[in-house]
Amino acid sequence: MRSLTKRIAKLLLSPRPREATAAIVLAAGSSTRMGGELSKQFIELCGIPVLAHTLLAYQASPAIREIIVAARREDFDRVAAIRREYGITKLRHVTAGGKSRQESAARAFAKIGPDIRYVAVADGARCLTTPAEINAVCAEAWHCRAASAAQRVVGTVKRTNAKGSVTGTVARENLWEAQTPQVFHVSLYAAALQRARREGLDTTDDNAMVERLGQRVQLVECSRENIKITTPEDLRIATAILALRIADAEEAQS
């Protein structure tokens, strides 16, 4: 697989026009595993809300033309405050999330502009995504119509029975863990949503919907730091990673 650096160069140096791309940021989850009343999207990470970190990355990416956020209605004011305070000028709409991730994505997708050719579906709580990673995944999608951020599985994977007893060891050479953004041509994504509704499917991974159409999804290897905040432990890990990034940036400027 080509390196992330080559993908970024392809995006920035290609003579072909960049495709109009909208980011759909999903921030309507219930955050039950965080153990608190406040949605994880608005917990502060190094003094800035988790969702603000995510939106700032998509704001800074030249590949993204507009942003649509799916959030809980009770969080609309918080999203609006982030938009004002952090200058998220690409944020065009905030729409009410649905009962599932898939329904939230479909509602946000219905709000994209008429000239949008590609959609980048993103987890609002995947707050360490970088503009460079967003650019690289978009560039790959523009080339092959469907691409996803991902990381290689590095641990030993075991297959078990229902009682947890090992029944085999899975070869990890071709195993990957999907991340976001996941970027698709709008016609593909519309068809994937339509088929999922027709078949009564409710997936937690947009790649899986598109794969059911027979479309190849190209994986783009991104950093292992591109984690999703799901538990209090994830928040501690993200805080440590961000603190190191801030220290590195300050050192580079000195």
Q: What is the mean pLDDT of each run of 10 residues along the chain (254 residues)?
A: 54 60 92 65 94 98 97 96 98 96 97 97 97 96 97 93 94 92 98 96 94 96 95 94 91 86
Closest of 191, 168, 172, 184 to residue 216, by C-alpha: 184
CA atoms within 13 A on the CB side of 58: 36
Q: What DSSP string runs through 119-150?
A: EEEEETT-TT--HHHHHHHHHHHHHHSEEEEE
Residue 15 has what pLDDT?
41
What residues form DSSP beta bridges with 121? 24, 182
In angstroms, rounded to a whole number, what is the distance separating the alpha carbons of residues 252 and 98? 43
Confidence (pLDDT) at 147: 98
What's residue 31's pLDDT?
A: 61
Residue burial 8-31, b: 16+ Cβ < 10 Å; e: rest: bebbeeeeeebbbbbbbbbbbbeb
Cβ–Cβ under 8 Å, residues 59 and 90: yes
Q: Where are the domains of the chain?
A: 4-148+176-253
At the second CATH level, the architecture of 4-148+176-253 is Alpha-Beta Complex (3.90)
Q: What is the pLDDT of residue 251?
A: 87
**What pLDDT is stored for residue 32 in this prediction?**
59
Placement of tokens 């495709």 in the chain: 19
Give the whole-angstrom CA distance, residue 24 versus residue 42.
18
C-alpha radius of gyration, the chain, whole number: 18
Interatomic CA distance for residues 107 and 112, integer angstroms:
10
Cα 145 to Cα 219: distance, rounded to the nearest angstrom: 12
Q: What is the pLDDT of residue 16?
A: 46
| Beta strands 91-96; 66-71: pairing state | parallel
Short-list 19, 72, 46, 51, CA closest to 129: 51
**What per-residue confidence (pLDDT) applies to 8?**
52
